[in-house]
């Protein structure tokens, strides 16, 4: 016999409850018998019917999705999982969704799946990708027999005829629709630009439109399927949802990179307007022409200025200027040389006249004579340099005399100047 601890009993019972697929994904209908809002944000309430009651708890994270405050006496439908709370011996429902009774089953499933996928980040705005500005190929996942494909093709032909539309047929309602939609998205993703080699990039699909016409909520159930939502999330190509009318909203719309109110609007959102492009190009052409004309004019002015600059600094002009400069310098040099020659000639003439004035010849011409000792040839400047009977040579201005000294006379002092001469 095995004896269990109390905690072991709860652990065993909890394991059994969590393995039960029905109790781990349970929908319960009942009337709220009591409700308590805790300061922590959790909600504790009790569901009852004619014969039983069930304790329930909804944690703060799930309680924030409630559309209205829970009150005693309300008839509701709750979803959650059964578990044990051993500290108080409670067998209770851990609710993650509570809706007023009367809401359709599809709506309850929608709310539950929406919250779960939102918590996983499938609807996060930061993961949504921008659409290409000028797509070359657009993938379309819809029914080949419906009017949607024709509406989209007509809008594309009018708005942007350059684009190519690639259709992958799939059911858009019925039990097989989710699987076919997933297969269509996967087929189109085989042509994602990141999955094609460079030589096949011309086959790449730039954006996908997932579309169907309007219908009742039950007819749009395929687009609230978790498999479709995860296929859109996994797409390597941006996805635009165009499901039903503008008032219809599906989980596929929440996951898609962009939601279009109608299929025709989707065709307009993924392509530029060819007419607007033509007007834009016409404006660009005019601006480009004006800019080119202005640039040519500016270049023409710049070229003319450069020509003038080159002409002013060309070797020919420089040589002409240098020749003129050389002529000016030559004239100045010749003038300076003549002035220098005249100055030097004047100096020479002055020296000549000075030498001429000091020349013995000039002195001799005035009646003076030079006496030389005939034997020694030296100039005689005093009478006592010779003796009587000595031979001397007397040089005159013209010619010379040979003479003999007869008598040497002493020098006579010159007379003192008179008072008048002083």
Per-domain residue ranges for the chain? Answer: 6-103, 133-272, 276-321, 362-404
Highest mean pLDDT among 63-67, 235-239, 335-339: 235-239
Cα R_g (the chain), whole angstroms: 64
Total Cβ atoms within 10 A of residue 214:
14
pLDDT band at 103 (very low <50, low <70, confident <90, very high): low
Specify the CATH architecture of the domain 133-272.
3-Layer(aba) Sandwich (3.40)
pLDDT given at position 186: 96
User: Percentage of the chain surpassing pLDDT 90?
Assistant: 41
More confident residue, 385 or 268: 268
Total Cβ atoms within 10 A of residue 376:
9
| pTM to 2 decimal places | 0.57
Q: What's 114's DSSP letter?
A: H
Specify the CATH architecture of the domain 6-103.
Beta Barrel (2.40)
Average pLDDT of the chain, as a whole number: 87
Which tens digits make up the pLDDT trace of 308-347? 887 777 777 777 777 888 888 888 899 999 999 999 999 9
User: Percentage of the chain surpassing pLDDT 70?
Assistant: 96
Report d(CA 89, CA 276) in Å as an integer. 71
- Could you tell me which residues come within 8 angstroms of residue 120 by beta carbon, excluding any fewer than 6 positions away? none
Q: Is 255 exposed, middle or buried (0-12, 13-18, 19+ CB in 10 A)?
A: buried
pLDDT band at 421 (very low <50, low <70, confident <90, very high): very low
Structure tokens at 212: 């169907």
> Same CATH topology for 6-103 and 133-272?
no
């Amino acid at each position: 016999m095995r004896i269990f601890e109390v905690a072991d009993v709860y652990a065993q019972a909890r394991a059994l409850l969590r393995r039960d697929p029905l109790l781990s994904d349970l929908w319960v209908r009942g009337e709220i018998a009591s409700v308590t809002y805790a300061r922590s944000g959790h909600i504790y309430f009790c569901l009852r019917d004619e014969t039983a009651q069930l304790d329930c708890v909804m944690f703060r994270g799930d309680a924030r999705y409630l559309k209205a405050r829970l009150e005693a006496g309300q008839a509701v439908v709750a979803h959650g999982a059964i578990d044990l709370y051993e500290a108080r011996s409670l067998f209770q429902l851990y609710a993650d969704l509570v809706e007023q009774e009367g809401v359709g089953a599809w709506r309850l499933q929608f709310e539950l799946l929406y919250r779960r996928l939102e918590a996983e980040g499938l609807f996060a705005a930061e993961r949504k990708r921008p659409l290409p500005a000028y797509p070359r190929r657009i993938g379309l996942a819809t029914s080949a027999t419906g009017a949607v494909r024709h509406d989209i093709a007509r809008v594309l032909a009018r708005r942007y005829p350059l684009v190519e539309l690639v259709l992958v047929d799939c059911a858009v309602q019925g039990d097989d629709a989710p699987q076919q939609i997933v297969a269509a998205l996967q087929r189109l993703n085989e042509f994602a630009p990141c999955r094609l080699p460079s030589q096949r990039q011309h086959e790449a699909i730039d954006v996908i439109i997932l579309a169907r016409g309007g219908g009742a909520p039950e007819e749009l159930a395929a687009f609230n399927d978790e498999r479709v939502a995860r296929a859109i999330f996994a797409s390597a190509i941006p996805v635009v949802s165009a499901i039903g009318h503008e008032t219809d909203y599906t989980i596929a719309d929440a996951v898609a990179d962009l939601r279009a109110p109608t299929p025709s609007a989707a065709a307009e959102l993924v392509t530029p307007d060819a007419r607007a492009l033509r007007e834009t190009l016409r404006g660009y052409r005019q601006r480009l022409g004006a800019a080119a004309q202005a640039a040519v004019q500016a270049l023409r002015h710049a070229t003319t200025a450069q020509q003038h600059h080159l002409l002013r600094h060309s070797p020919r002009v420089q040589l002409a200027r240098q020749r003129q400069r050389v002529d000016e310098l030559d004239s100045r040099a010749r003038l300076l040389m003549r002035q220098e020659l005249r100055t030097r000639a004047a100096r020479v003439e002055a020296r000549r006249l000075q030498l001429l004035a000091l020349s013995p010849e000039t002195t001799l011409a005035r009646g003076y004579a030079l006496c030389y000792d005939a034997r020694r040839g030296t100039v005689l400047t005093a009478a006592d340099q010779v003796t009587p009977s000595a031979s001397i040579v007397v040089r005159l201005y013209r010619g010379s005399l040979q003479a003999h000294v007869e008598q040497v006379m002493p020098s006579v002092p010159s007379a003192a100047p008179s008072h008048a001469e002083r």
